[in-house]
Amino acid sequence: MFGSEIYTDRRYWEIDLLRGIGITMMVVSNFVTDLQLFLGYNENPALWWFFARLTASTFVFASGLSMWISYSRTLGKSASPYRKYFKRFLKLFGLGLLITAVTYFLSITIHFGILHFLGLATLLGMLFYRFGRRNALWAAFFILGYLVLRNFHDGLWLLPVGIMPENYFTPDYFPIFPWFGVFLLGMTAGSVLYPDGRRKRDIGLPSSPLVHFLAFAGRHTLAIYLLHQPVLVGLLRLIYGPLPGLPI
C-alpha cells in the first residue's frame, strides 16, 4: 500500500515525507486548539503556541519547496504555465472561501486561513520564481515586515496583508506578512537542492513503515486538511456531548 513503486521521476519521497510530517503536526495542533476553544484546555500554553508556529512553518516551507519543483518542471514543458497555476489558485482559494462561509455560521469565522494563503501564494510564487536563491532576501523582507505591520490596525479588508482589527481572533490566520516569507524560504531551498526541479543526487526510500505512512499522508494533504476538523470535532462531541461555544 505504501510501497516505493509509486515513486517515479515525478514525485520525490522526501518532499512527501516533509509534507506528511507537516500535515500530521497540523492535525495534532488543531486538535489541541479544539480542546482549548471548546473544552477550556489550558495546559502548557507556551509549548502549544511554539508547536503551532513550528507546525505552520513546516507546512508552508514544504509548500514553497513543492512549488519550486512543480513550477520548474512546468516551465520546462510549457512556455505558458500560468493557466495551470491560476486553476490551482481558484481551487485553493475557492475552498478557503467555502471554509469562511461554514465557519461564519459556526461563529468562529476563518477569514484568511491556510487555503486562502496557499492559493494566493501560488500566484505570487510564479512572480518570485525568477529570483531563485535571492528569494532568501525577499523572505527576510516579508518576515521582518510583519514586525512593523502587526503594530497597525484596521478593518477586515487588510487581513490578507497582516493588518488586523484590534483584539481580532480567529483559529486559522495566515497573512502574506510573514507567511509568504516562509513560503519563499521553501522556494529558496528548492533553488539550491532542486535547481531545475530535479534532485542533484538520488536518495533511496527507507523501508521504515513510519516513513511510508507519512509520505502517503504527504500525498494527500488537501484531503486530510479538509476532513480532519469535522472528524476531530465529531469525536469530541461523541465523547463529551454538546461543546460549549459550538452552536451545533
Sorted by sequence, the CB contacts under 8 Å of residue 72 that are 6+ apart come out as 129, 190, 194, 195, 196, 197
Distance, in Å, from the CA atom of 93 to the CA atom of 120, rounded to the nearest integer, reads 7
Alpha-carbon distance of 71 to 80, in angstroms, equals: 11
d(CA 136, CA 128): 11
pLDDT value at position 4?
A: 40
Mapped onto helix, strand or coil, the DSSP state of residue 153 is strand
Bond prior to 178 in cis (omega within 30° of 0): yes
**The three three-digit cell numbers of residue 12, written as one number:** 520525490
Query: Is the separation of the CB atoms in 73 and 9 below 8 Å?
Result: no
| Rounded (5°) CA angle 236-237-238 | 90
Q: What is the pTM of this model?
A: 0.93
pLDDT in tens, the chain (248 residues): 334 444 455 789 999 999 999 999 999 999 999 999 889 999 999 999 999 999 999 999 999 999 999 999 998 776 677 889 999 999 999 999 999 999 998 888 999 999 999 999 999 999 999 999 999 999 999 999 999 999 999 999 999 999 999 999 999 999 999 999 999 999 999 999 999 999 888 888 899 999 999 999 999 999 999 999 999 999 998 988 877 766 65
Q: What is the dihedral of CA 31, 37, 42, 45, to 10 degrees?
A: 70
DSSP 199-220: -SS--PPP--HHHHHHHHHHTT
The angle subtended at Cα 14 by Cα 9 and Cα 19, nearest 5°, is 110
d(C-alpha 158, C-alpha 188), whole Å: 27
Amino acid occupying residue 228: H
- Report the SS3 class of residue 80: coil
Residue 235: predicted pLDDT: 93
CB atoms inside a 10 Å sphere around CB 48 = 19
Question: Which cell is 67 given?
Answer: 512549488
Residue 5 has what pLDDT? 41
